[in-house]
Amino acid sequence: MSVIPHLINGELVTENGRAVDVFNPSTGQAIHKLPLATRETIQSAIDAAKAAFPAWRNTPAAKRAQVMFRFKQLLEQNEARISQLISEEHGKTLEDAAGELKRGIENVEFACAAPEILKGEYSRNVGPNIDAWSDFQPLGVVAGITPFNFPAMVPLWMYPLAIVCGNCFILKPSERDPSSTLLIAQLLLEAGLPKGVLSVVHGDKTAVDALIEAPEVKALSFVGSTPIAEYIYSEGTKRGKRVQALGGAKNHAVLMPDADLDNAVSALMGAAYGSCGERCMAISVAVCVGDQVADALVAKLVPQIKALKIGAGTSCGLDMGPLVTGQARDKVSGYVEDGVAAGAKLVVDGRGLTVAGHEEGFFLGGCLFDNVTPEMRIYKEEIFGPVLCIVRVNSLEEAMQLINDHEYGNGTCIFTRDGEAARLFCDEIEVGMVGVNVPLPVPVAYHSFGGWKRSLFGDLHAYGPDGVRFYTRRKAITQRWPQRASHEASQFAFPSL
**Residues known to be catalytic:** 280
Residue 471 CA to its chain's centroid (Å): 16
Q: How many Å apart are CA 178 and CA 175, to the nearest integer?
A: 6
Where in 247-329 does DSSP place strands (E)? 251-255, 283-289
Say if residues 247 and 454 touch (Cβ distance below 8 Å).
yes
- The sign of the dihedral angle between the CA atoms of 82, 84, 89, 95 is positive
Q: How many Å apart are CA 338 and CA 332, to the nearest integer?
A: 10
CA neighbor of 350 nearest in space, from 368, 362, 334 = 368
Q: How many Å apart are CA 294 and CA 455, to the nearest integer?
A: 28
Report phi then psi at 309, rounded to 5.
-90, 115
Question: Apex CA 202: angle with CA 200 and CA 205, to 5°?
Answer: 125
- Which contiguous run of DSSP H or E holds residue 472? strand 472-480
Q: How many Å apart are CA 181 and CA 195, to the nearest integer?
A: 17
Say how many C-beta atoms besides its own lie within 10 A of residue 497's C-beta: 6
- Beta pairing partners, 283: 251
- 456-475 in b/e burial notation, b at 16+ Cβ within 10 A? bbbebbbbbebbbbbbbeee
Say if residues 387 and 336 touch (Cβ distance below 8 Å).
yes
Q: How many Å apart are CA 83 and CA 183, to the nearest integer?
A: 11
Question: Apex CA 205: angle with CA 101 and CA 108, to 5°?
Answer: 20
CA neighbor of 79 nearest in space, from 94, 65, 69 = 94
Residues in the chain: 497
- The sign of the dihedral angle between the CA atoms of 20, 25, 29, 32 is negative
Q: How many Å apart are CA 281 and CA 264, to the nearest integer?
A: 16
Residue 390 CA to its chain's centroid (Å): 26
